[in-house]
Structure 1
């Protein structure tokens, strides 16, 4: 929002008048300092995940209905904006299915959806790609997925990717924004350059290999557990305490 020149003064003023400022990634912190004349300290506190909700569920019947011949199931969730580069998801999927039988689920809605539907119709079998729209229980889809694709050109953190990891789904992500701070290259998945379709597809095939997939799934869950609510909430509580204590000191001095 602040990159809109007309809003920049308001955002800058608001940040500098705040008593405490947090960012969900080091990249967002750096981006904020680069775009605004911020004089205040920014503390990085990452997003959190509710592991009671986002966890692998037994939905074998759902997987069988989508992949009746044991195809690999690939998923992407987003708001279908240009910055998400959902067209790259379709292109990577097309490369993957040249080698491995696979299905693609696209979850969400947004301004680019119609264009992506047209691309899918032109390049894929209608049976291989499904648009599910907005879902409340996205964790049910993630529970039966084998791979999550996040091809964004900008992500402050990548919460959708964290939700996938919590459901034991490894990632192929770009190196944009805060994603490298979440996705551990060669551990929870792979990190690739924005727009590098071939590398994304090649790395996806490595993950989907039957000998590799279990270890990537296990690592994805282990990483997600680091962002469990009980680990992150104390960071916010400590931040609030610090802000309150500093405020009390100011009041005391004035008195």
Structure 2
């Protein structure tokens, strides 16, 4: 194709929103005809089968005896430079400021300034790591030295500027879903395995870290189930899982709660649900809520971080203060007891997911950024796409 780019992508390849978005973006870019090279310590879990125009380069860590800890960062920087030189990469798109952006900057120093670095901030590098005084200067350096920086929400951009005194332009590039994957599925038969026809299904998906406030999910469901016949599905694993088990048992909900464990393909499970619960105390965006939205499932969430940029209160879901499980339960019951309201919210969810957060829109944004930092003219098809998307 005219304007074909060679792009290196580095992300955390395991389960997690940043890895999902980075991998899905790479797949979309490859479909468009760009050449995409994933440079990570293991195969990104969303890659799986063979994809045309996608290549994988494993970062192998040297466990030389003089090192107290295996130097992954140095190995990654070396591998990034090696792949950039051998494959003639135009740019590196790295997800997270540290260690990935720092490693990319070292690689650029080794290869030359013609190799551009685009850094995407997903949250943890700002909301957690930037509060550590020993890391703050390093994160600031990674951001300021990148050729372009993007963030997944306005709230994350605001926090980045406030914490690190960043004046450099930061592009807003929301997370996205591929509407060919996330859409309301016909799951009538599968639904019978989880609930009776008269029961509603609530769902929560996360890594069960304390910040997700998963115990609030149990409390909210307990309040809902007293008035509405319902079931709760937990998807994922993490450090709070044992506490959740204990809480479920304590409240006498064992026969109403199903623990599904980690699941790579959640579109089917989301289509089973009537409502998503996301009571996090911090959430830079809330990708699982967007995935639910794209499947026509409204979310009841906390009014935290970037969530209000995704969920419009009373239109595509409902927001409550962090920890207010009574209010969250009241919103769930309001939705499930009013069929007309539920259908209105469901339609609004589908429309917003397919427009504001669709794959075509966000990919076109990233392509525009790539051509900008490379100082190349936009291909005609991209110019037309950006014009159509507004």
Question: TM-score under structure 1 normalisation?
Answer: 0.93
Which residue number corresponds to residue 184 of structure 1? Answer: 312
Which residue number corresponds to residue 147 of structure 2? Answer: 19
**Residue 52 of structure 1: how far off its partner (Å):** 0.9
Q: Secondary structure of 1:217's partner?
A: helix
Q: How far apart, in 2, do the equivalents of 1:170 and 1:76 lie?
A: 12
Which residue number corresponds to residue 253 of structure 1? Answer: none
Q: How far apart, in 1, do the equivalents of 2:291 and 2:252 lie?
A: 27
Which residue number corresponds to residue 223 of structure 1? Answer: 352
Q: Secondary structure of 1:198's partner?
A: helix
Which residue number corresponds to residue 102 of structure 1? Answer: 230
- Show structure 1 runs of 4+ deviating over 4 A: none
**Residue 71 of structure 1: how far off its partner (Å):** 0.5
Which residue number corresponds to residue 6 of structure 1? Answer: 134
Which residue number corresponds to residue 251 of structure 1? Answer: none
Question: TM-score under structure 2 normalisation?
Answer: 0.62
Q: Secondary structure of 2:134's partner?
A: coil
Matches within 5 A, 1:135-154: 135-154=263-282
Matches within 5 A, 1:146-165: 146-165=274-293
Q: How far apart, in 1, do the equivalents of 2:344 and 2:255 lie?
A: 29
**Residue 228 of structure 1: how far off its partner (Å):** 1.0
Q: How far apart, in 2, do the equivalents of 1:137 and 1:124 lie?
A: 30
Q: Secondary structure of 1:212's partner?
A: helix
For residues 168-216 of structure 1, give each alpha carbon's deviation from its aligned partner in whole angstroms, at most 9, with x where no partner exists.
1001011100000000111111111111111111111111123322222
Instruction: Tell me the number of residue pairs that the alignment of Structure 1 and Structure 2 aligns.
Output: 246
Which residue number corresponds to residue 252 of structure 1? Answer: none
Q: Which structure 2 residue ranges, 5 or more long, are not aligned?
A: 1-128, 377-390
Which residue number corresponds to residue 234 of structure 1? Answer: 364
Q: How far apart, in 2, do the equivalents of 1:6 and 1:114 lie?
A: 33
Q: How far apart, in 2, do the equivalents of 1:198 and 1:186 lie?
A: 17
Contact 1:168/1:221 (8 A) holds in 2: yes
Q: How far apart, in 2, do the equivalents of 1:157 and 1:177 lie?
A: 7
Q: Which structure 1 residue ranges, 5 or more long, are not aligned?
A: 247-255
Does residue 82 of structure 1 match 2:226? no
**Residue 69 of structure 1: how far off its partner (Å):** 4.2
Q: How far apart, in 1, do the equivalents of 2:313 and 2:186 lie?
A: 28
**Residue 39 of structure 1: how far off its partner (Å):** 3.0
Matches within 5 A, 1:32-51: 32-51=160-179
Q: 1:183 and 1:124, CA in 2 relative to 1: closer, same or farther beyond 3 A?
A: farther
Q: How far apart, in 2, do the equivalents of 1:81 and 1:64 lie?
A: 30
1:131 paired residue among 256, 259, 264: 259
Q: How far apart, in 2, do the equivalents of 1:39 and 1:184 lie?
A: 29
Relative contact order higher in (CA < 8 Å, ≥ 6 apart): 1
Q: How far apart, in 2, do the equivalents of 1:5 and 1:22 lie?
A: 23
Q: How far apart, in 2, do the equivalents of 1:221 and 1:69 lie?
A: 24
For residues 142-191 of structure 1, give each alpha carbon's deviation from its aligned partner in whole angstroms, at most 9, with x where no partner exists.
01100001000010001010000111100101110000000011111111
Q: How far apart, in 2, do the equivalents of 1:69 and 1:230 lie?
A: 37
1:244 paired residue among 365, 371, 374: 374
Does residue 65 of structure 1 match 2:188? no
